Amino acid sequence: MKWTVIGYWGAYPEKGEATSAYLLEQDGFQCLIDCGSGALSRLQRFVDVKGLDAVVLSHYHQDHIADIGVLQYSWLVQNSLHRTNDKLTIYGHGEDETGFSALTHQFTEGIAYQYDDTLEIGPFQFTFQRTTHPVPCFAIRISNGKQEIVYTADSSFDQKLVRFSSDADLLISECSFYHGQDAAKAGHMTSAQCGRLAASANVKQLLLTHLPHFGDRQDLVTEARQQFEGSIQLAYEGWTWQG
């Protein structure tokens, strides 16, 4: 199981980069987790857009889904050029009718998941946990039967996330604010809360993502390390974990 960071900024992308987007791979199966602004451009450094087998979305805020329309057009164009009729499956929650309905296009099909669903997607098993965020949003736990990855998506600190993340090999945690700031008001976490989540859940490794556009981001690692003694890293394009 391989996890590659494609985009990692919160809200909007820095120049030449992307917001939330991650590539999950195993045995030739390629799944995109979230598809934020700039994601399609950056994704093509790693895979062909028609090489994707599935997309899974955490929620419908633009920094997580802005390039879905662009991805749909890419499949339309490529199918036309190659005279194929391939379809891409996009999984998203059904609690936002407008957001979910946009997932189905000429060559993409939206499939709804619920918070208590277990989905078999390629070689992976996906489970979901509702997060604490201004709109319906779901953390995602991914297993290949040997390793476990948890992606918090967007959330303020919540004990349910501790249970959901328990003993994960890799925790990818949103880290939108620095210690001492009021992250909960916006439905996000601080660096220290990310560290606390990792420690309480007994995870092996912590990746900080959904990063802020201000401050010295190395301070996020320092602050998280006050709570968690395990491996902590900042996300960047191309960062890879392989179980």
Alpha helices in 83-203 (DSSP H): 97-101, 159-164, 191-201
Contact status, residue 183 vs residue 218, Cβ threshold 8 Å: no
Closest CA to 66 of 139, 22, 12: 12
151 located within any domain: yes
What pLDDT score was predicted for residue 4? Answer: 99
Taking each helix axis from N to C terminus, what angle separates 218-225 and 191-201, rounded to the nearest 10 degrees? 40
Per-residue pLDDT tens over the stretch 156-212: 999 999 999 999 999 999 999 999 999 999 999 999 999 999 999 999 999 999 999
Q: What is the pTM of this model?
A: 0.98
What pLDDT score was predicted for residue 47? Answer: 98
243 located within any domain: no
Token output for 84: 């194929």
CA distance 12 to 62: 9
Per-residue pLDDT tens over the stretch 78-126: 999 999 999 999 999 999 999 999 999 999 999 999 988 999 999 999 9
What pLDDT score was predicted for residue 204? Answer: 98
For position 219, which CATH number holds?
Answer: 3.60.15.10
The domain in which residue 197 lies consists of 2-238
Strands in 108-113's sheet, in edge-to-edge order, are 108-113, 88-93, 54-56, 29-35, 21-26, 2-7, 240-242
How many domains is the chain partitioned into structurally? 1
